[in-house]
Amino acid sequence: MKRIGLMVLMMLLVLTVSVYAGGEQESSEGPVFEVSSNVTEEGQVELLGKLFQRFVDEYNAENGSNYSLKFVSGQGMDIINTRMSSNNKPDIFSIDSPADSNEFAGSGLLLDLTEYAEQYSWDETIFDWAYSLAKVDGDVMALPFGYEGMVIWYNKEIMKELGLDAQSIDTLPEFEAAMKKASEADYIPVMLGSQDWPWAQEWYLSILYSYTGRDRVKKTIEGVEGYAWTDEAFAETVALYESWHDKGYLADGRSYVLTSDDAINLFTNDRALFKLEGTWAPYWMMPLEEADQNKIGVMLHPAINDIEEPHMPLAVGNMWCASSDTEHPELAAYLLDRLLDQDIQSEFLDVGYDLAPMQINESEFEGLIPVVEDMWNVVNGALADGSFGYTTWAFYPPETRVYLYEGIVNVLEDKITIDEYLSEMQRLNQKELEQGFNPVIPAAN
């Protein structure tokens, strides 16, 4: 009896170990190809899963292969970092930014896609700035996908009530006058909430630093001699931001007390004139009533000096990469290239997913709600002019970036001075360059 008990126990043990240690096996139908994506929105997950399945089926039909697809979603940077440091890597996967693909490539985790990029003529398909982001030390290591930028949203009704016209708010005096008017009328001039989403602070700082001077930002990040975060130009910009906070223009002086949901609620409930957010904002506009959607307008943030015209700080939504461990590089490159198909871009638009960074046919934008259509006009207009700047999350070294948005709250709280804040940014930027951070920053017009 005891022997039987012991045997049952051992069998259970073996079963447990095999369940946990077995991992993914190739199915009897053929090799499994794993695609890992960071998307979490239900519609986007469904669409990507469906599209990749279709692409794999077509590849199998064209090549007589019998791959089966394993599609995994919701794989944020924490998960993908862990997986890529394990022996169980996906074949292709998406990560957040060029700074991330830079780090991954430096660790030898990415498949060199240069020959496939040439085979599929990516350099002729995607925008030049995007193609430059694909490269690390001259080799194509990722496919930048999606483009997003910083814009400013406004409430058309409040704008009208205050006798303002969005088209004529272009300069700093005009912008400050509009904010003053809104504040006097008991509206919150600019809404921003970063309590549960600290990255919201960097949305605004992306604009302000880029507007300080794109060439200056680029050279400062690259560590070019004679440029530093401690320069007077940056100090003036931070002082301007602080003055808006102190005057209550910036979220009533509570930008780091309000949450991201608070910011959306207060803006959509007609409590704020402007809302600072990027081109991903349609995700919360789509579910609004039509009348509420129509109240919202979009524009580029007005200039803050005479050096830079209003422009759009730009970021890529994703970097699609292939693992250096993949045993199916041909299929990996094929799937990445298929994401650039013109005729699937409208499907991406429908679910609010990123668009391929390439010239999209105008017909693809038809049928969108007016504010989203307006937004794409602003975005595509800025891109056509080469009028883009640099978002912090796409181009800045990682530690510098984190300090940038966390440290600013200490400035606004008067816990540190502007000089101390910028000195620390400079120290971290310098340290990261010395530790091997390789800036990939396309030159802007």
Partner 1 sequence: MARQVLSNRTRRQRLIAYASVLPIFLYHFILIVLPTLNTLTASFTNWNGIGKKQFTGISNYIELVGDPNFITAFGNNIKWMIVFLTLPIMLGILLGYILSGVKRGRLFFRAVYFLPYVISAAIAGKIFAAFYNPYFGINVALKAFQLDFIALDWLAPKNALFSVAFVDMWHWWGFLLVIFISALQQIDPLLYESARVEGASELQKIWYITLPSIRQTIVFIVLITMVWSVSTFEYVWVMTRGGPGSEILSTMLYKNAYFKYRAGYASSIAVVQMLVSFLIFAGFGALRKRMED
Q: Which is nearer to partner 1, 387 or 400 (CB)?
A: 400
Q: Which is nearer to partner 1, 8 or 224 (CB)?
A: 8
Least CB distance from residue 196 to partner 1, whole Å? 6
Least CB distance from residue 261 to partner 1, whole Å? 7
User: Rounded CA gap, 312 and 407, in Å?
Assistant: 24
Q: Which is nearer to partner 1, 104 or 348 (CB)?
A: 104
Least CB distance from residue 316 to partner 1, whole Å? 18
Residues at the site binding partner 1, with contacts judged by CB under 8 A? 2, 5-6, 9-10, 12-13, 16-17, 20, 77-78, 81-82, 84-85, 103-104, 106-109, 194-198, 254, 256-259, 261-262, 265-266, 271, 398-399, 401-402, 406, 409-410, 413, 415
Least CB distance from residue 237 to partner 1, whole Å? 20
Q: Which is nearer to partner 1, 350 or 413 (CB)?
A: 413
Bridge partners, residue 77, by sequence: none
How many C-beta atoms lie closer than 10 Å to residue 320's C-beta? Answer: 24
Least CB distance from residue 86 to partner 1, whole Å? 10
Least CB distance from residue 327 to partner 1, whole Å? 20
Contact of 308 with 294, CB cutoff 8 Å: no
Q: Name the nearest CA neighbour of 148 among 316, 346, 355.
A: 316
Contact of 282 with 372, CB cutoff 8 Å: yes
User: Rounded CA gap, 270 and 267, in Å?
Assistant: 5
DSSP string, 210-237: HHH-HHHHHHHHHT-TT--TTSHHHHHH
User: Rounded CA gap, 36 and 54, in Å?
Assistant: 16
Q: 357: which residues sit within 8 A by CB, 6+ positions away? A: 126, 127, 129, 130, 144, 145, 146, 147, 316
Q: Which is nearer to partner 1, 85 or 121 (CB)?
A: 85
Q: Tell me the CA distances in angstroms from 162 to 150, 176, 248, 296, one per residue in order.
A: 25, 14, 18, 15
Q: Which is nearer to partner 1, 195 or 305 (CB)?
A: 195
